[in-house]
Amino acid sequence: MPRLSVFNSVSLDGYLAGANGDLRWAHPGSDDPEFQAFIAENAKGGGRLLFGRITYELMASYWPTPGALESNPVVAERMNSLPKIVFSRTLDKASWSNTMLVKGDLASEVRRLKKAPGEDMVIFGSGSIVSQLAPLRLIDEYQVVMVPVVLGKGKTMFDGIPKTLSLKLTNTRRFGNGRVFLCYEPTA
């Protein structure tokens, strides 16, 4: 049965995106060779990528570009070639390569995907999807890269979660650029 993971960078104060969706804070320190090797290795993992509309549009506007292919060829190749699913009630089409648009019920579709044969799935960004699926216990693993910056305000990937979600730490890794990788699974 396919597993569903989340992989996101968050600020030290827990924000997925800064005010007005700003993500520039997540990029300084990305030139650390150890961190880049970690990201490239993670990208080789395969699977299916799940996005909400906002993250999809952001990713689709960057990864197919020559700049992305030049600055991070391994990740760009994987992002462009892996199957992608975008959940949106407002998009009319999804033109990024290998993308399927789903307009139906998010939770029902994810339950169906998890029961069907297929590769594991990863949510990038898409806090609205995370906050909808987490309370339903449809996410099997939370991979978080803590970025050493404090934003003061923004959006978390858990905005609006109606109840406490208890997690257990399963893995950690510290990088020279000050980032810390944290991996959690829901507790029973």
Q: Which CATH number fits the domain that encloses residue 170?
A: 3.40.430.10
Angle, CA 167 vertex, CA 117 and CA 23 arms, to 5°: 80
CA distance linking residue 172 with residue 75, whole number of Å: 22
The residue-averaged pLDDT of 8-35 equals 85
Which run of H or of E encompasses 130? helix 127-133
pLDDT for res 99: 96
pLDDT for res 125: 86
CA distance linking residue 155 with residue 91, whole number of Å: 22
- Considering only residues 183 and 162, tell me which one the structure prediction assigns the higher pLDDT: 183
Query: Which residue do the tokens 């804070």 mark?
Result: 25
The residue-averaged pLDDT of 177-181 equals 93
77: amino acid identity, one letter? E
Q: Give 52-69 pLDDT, tens digit per residue.
A: 999 999 999 999 999 989
Q: What is the pTM of this model?
A: 0.91
pLDDT for res 43: 66
The residue-averaged pLDDT of 18-36 equals 80
pLDDT for res 81: 92
Instruction: Give the 3-state secondary structure of residue 9.
Output: strand
Q: How confident is the model at residue 122 (pLDDT cuts 50, 70, 90)?
A: very high
Q: How confident is the model at residue 13 (pLDDT cuts 50, 70, 90)?
A: very high
The number of folded domains in the chain is 1
Q: Most distant CA pair in the chain: distance in Å?
A: 45
pLDDT for res 153: 94
Sign of CA dihedral 53, 152, 146, 163: negative
**Is the CB of residue 147 less than 8 Å from the CB of residue 11?**
yes
Query: Which residue do the tokens 């320190």 mark?
Result: 29
**Is the CB of residue 52 less than 8 Å from the CB of residue 88?**
yes
Where in the sequence is the domain holding 168, given as residue range(s)? 4-186
pLDDT for res 28: 66
Q: Give 137-149 pLDDT, tens digit per residue.
A: 999 999 999 999 9
